[in-house]
Amino acid sequence: ILNVEQSPQSLHVQEGDSTNFTCSFPSSNFYALHWYRWETAKSPEALFVMTLNGDEKKKGRISATLNTKEGYSYLYIKGSQPEDSATYLCALGPYQGAQKLVFGQGTRLTINP
Amino acid sequence: GAGVSQSPRYKVAKRGQDVALRCDPISGHVSLFWYQQALGQGPEFLTYFQNEAQLDKSGLPSDRFFAERPEGSVSTLKIQRTQQEDSAVYLCASSLADTDTQYFGPGTRLTVL
C-alpha cells in the first residue's frame, strides 16, 4: 500500500512569518509529485507538479523542493498572508501504472493576523 | 475559462436513500476521476474514466457505488442505499490526458443522517 505522509497536520503561523511543511513518500517507482492548495468552499488548486530529483519550483511567495532519492518534498511560504490560510495537499501519481493520485492527509495552515 | 463544476454542492440524505452526484469536466478533457474525502483525511481515489470507458474502479468501496460517463463528458456518481459512513466530500477532477495535471471541482458534501 502506497503511503504518503504530511506533517504537521495543522499549523498556526503569525502573519508575516515564513513557514514550511513536509510531504514524505516511498522513493521507489517515483513518477511525479503534486502540490495542491485547498481553500474552504473552493476547488483544490494545483500549485506545482514536480518530477525531477532536485526540482525547485516557485510561484510568488510559495516554493517547493523535491528529493526523490530520500522520498520527501518541502513546501515553503515566505511572508505568510491571511489568504494563505488553506489546506495544502501533496499527492503522488501516476504510480505503478495506475493513473490515480494518492494523497497525503494534508496540512491545515491558519495565518493569524 | 470554465473549470470543473459539480452539483449539488451540498446534499443531505436519509440513510437508505439513493443519491446522484454530477460532474461537468473541463471541455475537451479526456480523463475524469472521482475521489472521496472523509473528515480529517486526504482525498481517496474511487474511479477513473478515459472518455466513456471506466478503466479503473478499484477504489469504489462497495457495490452500492456506481459511476458512469456515457458520452465521455459529464459523469455521474451514484450511491445506492446510503449509509452514514458514506458521509464525505466527493471530488471530481479532469485532465487533458492521463498523466497531466488534474483540475478539481469544488466537491459535493454529502451528509447521511
Q: At A95, is the pLDDT very low, low, confident or very high (cuts 50, 70, 90)?
A: confident
Distances (CA, A) of B16 to B64, B65, B112: 11, 13, 9
pLDDT attached to residue A29: 75
**Chain B residue with minimal CA distance to A103?**
B42
- By Cβ distance, the residue of B48, B98, B104 closest to A44 is B104
| Rounded-to-integer distance, Cα A23 and Cα A93, Å | 14
How much is the average pLDDT of B1-14? Answer: 93
In this complex, do A46 and B45 lie within 8 Å of one another by their Cβ atoms? no
Any residues with CB less than 8 A from the CB of A2 and at least 6 apart, and which?
A25, A26, A92, A95, A102
- By Cβ distance, the residue of A42, A101, A103 closest to B106 is A42
Query: B59 near B67, Cβ under 8 Å?
Result: no
Mutation for A interface: B104, B108, B109, most A CBs within 10 A: B104
- The amino acid at B63: D
**Min distance B16 CA to chain A CA atoms (Å):** 27
How much is the average pLDDT of A83-89? Answer: 97
Cβ-in-10-Å burial (0-12, 13-18, 19+) of A45 comes to middle
Question: Any chain B CB within 8 A of the CB of A101?
Answer: yes
Q: At A62, is the pLDDT very low, low, confident or very high (cuts 50, 70, 90)?
A: very high
Least confident range of A85-99, B9-23, B51-65: A85-99
| Rounded-to-integer distance, Cα B61 and Cα A89, Å | 22
pLDDT in tens, B45-101: 999 999 999 999 999 999 999 999 999 999 999 999 999 999 999 999 999 987 789
